[in-house]
Amino acid sequence: GDSIDGQDFQLLPSDAAAEIAEAADQATRARLVCDFLAGMTDGYAARTYKRLFSPDFGSIGDLIG
């Protein structure tokens, strides 16, 4: 992931990111990203969106949800 103010940010889980990084070509990487997105549940996708775009998102309930 990229680094901002010394903090590393990664959008994908490390195992998915590693698999995508090791892909042989751009078409394979694109397919792996699409596969990851297609496998997201509605709740997981919504939480990920909020984590990325809502600065005040986050509570103990998010950890167990």
Q: How does residue 10 score in pLDDT terms, banded at 50, 70 and 90?
A: confident
The confidence score (pLDDT) of residue 59 equals: 61
- pLDDT beyond 70 at 20: yes
Q: Note whether 57 and 51 are within 8 A (CB).
A: yes
- pLDDT beyond 70 at 2: no
Cβ neighbours of residue 2 closer than 8 Å, sequence gap 6 or more: 8, 9
- pLDDT beyond 60 at 8: no
The confidence score (pLDDT) of residue 63 equals: 55
The confidence score (pLDDT) of residue 28 equals: 95
